[in-house]
Amino acid sequence: NAGVTQTPKFQVLKTGQSMTLQCAQDMNHNSMYWYRQDPGMGLRLIYYSASEGTTDKGEVPNGYNVSRLNKREFSLRLESAAPSQTSVYFCASSELGEFFGPGTRLTVL
Amino acid sequence: GENVEQHPSTLSVQEGDSAVIKCTYSDSASNYFPWYKQELGKRPQLIIDIRSNVGEKKDQRIAVTLNKTAKHFSLHITETQPEDSAVYFCAASTGGTSYGKLTFGQGTILTVHP
């Protein structure tokens, strides 16, 4: 039972490049979430998925897209990365979002 | 939308002292209030939570209190130890029992000096 896993752990992109952050959970949770964490700003919700096949915007969705591939997997895509998207990204799952993945540290140059 | 304010931003205590972190929320519909501990470079981990139908909850050295009328809730850590040093986040959710969208406070850096 791995809980919530994320890949990659670290990534450096150039402005304008695209990438997908992967998240998977093996706890059979319906709900999954993507947060970003910036210094002094806590965690902010980007997108969430209340159940397989549904996604919805959170507080800071601009510049991101998501896909709920199946019940286990929820991916976050940056189509054209910007320096303002430099952050640590956390995926979470459970009915109330309390289980977090290990995070992806993304730097956009 | 919901807004959560957390104070203080930094807190320094001596080992054995108590620590209190306070949060206020804006949306009276919020009904779930978790607290997370995050060590440097690690993921946030849920340490205690409280629902709106309860005023206080304890788990060993940590406790959370909720005042729905005033819309604030607090984390209390007694007999602090150096390993309690971390960043603590409060959060609030207006989600129902099936899912929740958490709004986080800005975090409190707690340092416990031996």
**Residues B88-99: pLDDT tens digits?**
999 998 765 445
Contact B102 A41 (CB under 8 A): no
**B70-83: average pLDDT:** 97
Tokens coding B48: 């205690």
B72 contact A CB<8A? no
Closest CA to B48 of B84, B8, B5: B84
Residuewise pLDDT in 10s, chain A (109 residues):
679 999 999 999 999 999 999 999 999 988 899 999 998 778 999 999 988 989 999 889 999 999 998 999 999 999 999 999 999 999 999 766 578 999 999 999 9
A26 touches chain B (CB under 8 A): no
User: Which residues in A43-77 are b (16+ Cβ under 10 Å) and which e?
Assistant: bbbbbbbbeeeebeebbbbeebebebeebbbbbbe
- Asked if A95's CB is within 8 angstroms of B1's CB, the reply is no
**C-alpha distance from B110 to closest chain A C-alpha (Å):** 14
Instruction: For chain B, give the percent of residues with pLDDT over 90.
Output: 79
**Closest partner CB to A40 (pick from B43, B103, B106):** B106
- pLDDT tens, position by position, B60-72: 999 999 999 999 9
CB within 8 Å of B4: residues ≥ 6 apart:
B23, B24, B25, B26, B90, B91, B92, B103, B104, B105
- What gap in Å lies between CA A29 and CA A91, rounded to an integer? 13
B79 versus A1: the higher-pLDDT residue is B79
pLDDT at position A2: 76
| Token pair of B20 as six digits | 């209190």
Q: A54 to chain B: which residues are within 8 Å by CB?
A: none
- What is the per-residue pLDDT for B53? 80
Distance in angstroms (rounded) separating the CA atoms of residues B93 and B71: 13
Helix (H) or strand (E) holding A104: strand A104-108
Residue to substitute from A52, A88, A95, A96, interface B, most B β-carbons within 10 A: A96
